[in-house]
Structure 1
Amino acid sequence: MVHTPPPFPVSRPRRNRRTDWMRDLTRENSLSASDLIWPIFVREGDDVVEPIDSMPGVNRLSVSRAVEAANEAANHGIPLIALFPYTDPDKKTPDAAEAWNPENLVNTATRAIKAQVPDIGIMLDVALDPYNSDGHDGIVREGVVMNDETLGALEQQALTQAEAGADILGPSDMMDGRIGIIRRALEQNDFPDTAIMAYSAKFASAFYGPFRDAVGASGALKGDKKTYQLDPANSDEALRMVARDLDEGADMVMVKPGMPYLDICQRVKQEFAVPTYAYQVSGEYAMIAGAGDNGWIDRDKAMLESLMAFKRAGCDGILSYFALETAKFLRRDMDLF
């Protein structure tokens, strides 16, 4: 039951806001580096740091540079990184076979990072869009994204990622039945400890544009993804998708995008009480970073306020391109707000 405070002057809520230490003492939520997951884009080449124009401050990194980034993340207390590939267009095919090539970019980077930074967790994306010449998360036949045919490809992709050493698989494709297929494949192939963070409530959003630039999928995409990603108007459906993925073997669930869907985050946490995550996606990052770099808002304060919103909504962690920047800020022991 929520307590109704007595009338003024018996109740003076400003007493609890009077000083820094009092605000710290009464703060309901906290943010730490251990709440953060850092997405990193990898590309081919040697000693490459390639800026992404639509994501100011974010770069594509060659494998050696990704190892350095992983080490820096670990040194600042970030427990998990998520790797995404910028795939050579010549390797993109209608069947997306590069997705389960044991020597593809993310598998190569995973092995290199695990060799040098063994204590950091690695999550890999299970979806075909970085490898598909049609730009979709599933195999396309005559303009239709094929659900059941895609499941076999995702199973192969998941197994090669587990073999490469991924600690968590993040199926982001939104095909029906994919969590069950992947979980059974992991169990049958002696990967019982590989966790699944399901992109369970992934919406057909306008906020993904810079990410598609980052992985080179923008120009390849034919049509849109509305036949498999969720309608932004639906929240009950999002909960049904979360329930389905948990029933099929997901260990944790994700809501994507983040800030426009904080109501979904809160409902998921309250309804299921399972490890719940949100992805502060590329468009969200670009708006804050771009406005901050232009002096229209205070970048640091907006960054921290946005991340605290996820914790307030009930998220156990946040995937954010601000992760390393935030971890460094917190290590300097600066005031959050």
Structure 2
Amino acid sequence: MTDFPTRRLRRLRGTPALRRLVAEHDLTPRRLVLPVFVKEGIATAQPIATMPGVSQHPLDGLAALVDEAVAAGIGGIMLFGVPEHRDAVGSGATDPAGILNRAITVAAAAARGRITVQADLCLDEFTDHGHCGVLADDGSIDNDATLEVYARMAVAQARAGADILGLSGMMDGQIAACRAALDADGRTDIVLLAYSAKYASAFYGPFRDAVESTLTGDRRTYQLDAANGREGVQEALADIDEGADIVMVKPAGTSLDVLARVSDLSAVPVWAYQVSGEYALIEHAAASGLIDRDRAIGESLIAIRRAGAEAILTYWAIEVAGWLRAGRDLT
């Protein structure tokens, strides 16, 4: 008599209904955050060639986009500013009339508490050299001088109406510096999202088109080396010690191991950013007929969720939220 297997794990995969019932991880619209680029001096949305389906938005169109995000049921929007003018110290970032601070005010007024308004807190979009900090005389990044600017940015963004500040510059001590500045300004309510494990990555390329980056060289002296996993975990734990309310791993798809380790150890929520290059790879491969677009999107997001992300920044946030509301399976 033939010996048959006593455990048949395939039983639980037999139908879509069974697969849904026993799925270990799922996704809901509230776990998705949409990155939004707001460009100064344009009247209509400008498509970004390297990111099909993504545009730079005019300030006048931002309220309508917020309403769309609210209707989709997503958890928030993360605002990035694209200024007309830049200088060595990124003065537009701290100017209340700067494009990002104005965008925060418009978005907050439109949101009316129905969705979180998040703001990127970094200098790269505002400096003429494209780096995330202030340069020292020798051309290196002056960490502590940069912290002074970040502290002023934090106060400016809080006063503009942001709920969550996304500290993405990877300067040592940035969480502590911004927390101290906010507390001194009486803004103990502001949530700090630390881009803790942010790796120096080739997958940021399309984003730099989106913000019209002027960067020459690279950011390897302050962003993490892709070879280092433990260091990413240390960065997250250090940010938590400094007062971060949320920590993030980026890029999501190439850092799933770090994301899982941070998730296991963190006492605060853990998020991940599915970055522009990850988005563009799927969109361009699908346009060439190489992969099933929708399934690839769903699979990539579930993998990030499975690794431990409690929320995901993704350029597909509104589209995928629509799928989820319609009851579509992501995989």
TM-score for both structures, normalised by structure 1: 0.95
1:214-263 deviation digits (Å, cap 9, x = unpaired): 0011xx21321011001100011111111110111100100011100000
In structure 2, the residue matched to 1:238 is 232
Inter-partner Cα distance in structure 2 for 1:198 and 1:8: 52
1:49 aligns with 2:45: yes
1:128 aligns with 2:123: yes
Offset of residue 77 of structure 1: 0.4
Structure 2 counterpart of 1:65, which letter?
A: G
In structure 2, the residue matched to 1:83 is 79
Inter-partner Cα distance in structure 2 for 1:71 and 1:105: 20
Aligned counterpart for 1:330 among listed residues 309, 312, 324: 324
1:107-162 deviation digits (Å, cap 9, x = unpaired): 11121122222121111111100000110000112311111111111111111000
In structure 2, the residue matched to 1:29 is 25
Aligned counterpart for 2:222 among listed residues 225, 228, 231: 228
SS at 2:141 equivalent? strand
Distance 1:104 1:8, change over 3 A: farther
In structure 1, the residue matched to 2:274 is 280
1:137 aligns with 2:126: no
Q: 1:77-116 to 2 correspondence within 5 Å?
A: 77-88=73-84, 91-116=85-110
Inter-partner Cα distance in structure 1 for 2:325 and 2:46: 27
Inter-partner Cα distance in structure 2 for 1:79 and 1:71: 13
Distance 1:15 1:128, change over 3 A: same
Inter-partner Cα distance in structure 2 for 1:332 and 1:77: 12
Inter-partner Cα distance in structure 1 for 2:50 and 2:165: 27
8 Å CA contact 1:46–1:64 kept in 2: the answer is no
Structure 2 counterpart of 1:68, which letter?
A: A
Structure 2 stretches lacking a partner, 5+ long: none
Structure 1 stretches lacking a partner, 5+ long: 1-6
1:86-116 deviation digits (Å, cap 9, x = unpaired): 121xx21011111101111121112112222
Inter-partner Cα distance in structure 2 for 1:185 and 1:260: 34
SS at 1:198 equivalent? strand
SS at 1:258 equivalent? coil
Report the number of matched residues: 327
RMSD across aligned C-alpha pairs, in angstroms?
1.2
Inter-partner Cα distance in structure 1 for 2:203 and 2:328: 30
Q: Which stretch of the first structure deviates more once superposed, 278-287 or 289-298?
A: 289-298
Inter-partner Cα distance in structure 1 for 2:160 and 2:281: 35
In structure 1, the residue matched to 2:157 is 161
Inter-partner Cα distance in structure 2 for 1:38 and 1:157: 21
Inter-partner Cα distance in structure 2 for 1:34 and 1:12: 35
Structure 2 counterpart of 1:250, which letter?
A: A
Q: Which stretch of the first structure deviates more once superposed, 113-122 or 24-33?
A: 113-122
Q: 1:184-199 to 2 correspondence within 5 Å?
A: 184-199=180-195
Distance 1:86 1:8, change over 3 A: farther
Aligned counterpart for 1:64 among listed residues 55, 60, 74: 60
Inter-partner Cα distance in structure 1 for 2:103 and 2:178: 22
Inter-partner Cα distance in structure 1 for 2:235 and 2:211: 26
Offset of residue 46 of structure 1: 5.5
In structure 2, the residue matched to 1:4 is none
1:185-234 deviation digits (Å, cap 9, x = unpaired): 111101111000100000111110100110011xx213210110011000
8 Å CA contact 2:92–2:99 kept in 1: the answer is no
Inter-partner Cα distance in structure 2 for 1:96 and 1:44: 15
Inter-partner Cα distance in structure 2 for 1:170 and 1:335: 31
SS at 2:5 equivalent? coil
In structure 1, the residue matched to 2:301 is 307
Aligned counterpart for 1:296 among listed residues 265, 287, 290: 290
Structure 2 counterpart of 1:257, which letter?
A: P
Inter-partner Cα distance in structure 1 for 2:16 and 2:223: 44
Inter-partner Cα distance in structure 1 for 2:123 and 2:145: 12
Offset of residue 8 of structure 1: 4.4
- What fraction of aligned residue pairs are identical, expressed as a percent? 45
Offset of residue 66 of structure 1: 1.8
TM-score for both structures, normalised by structure 2: 0.96
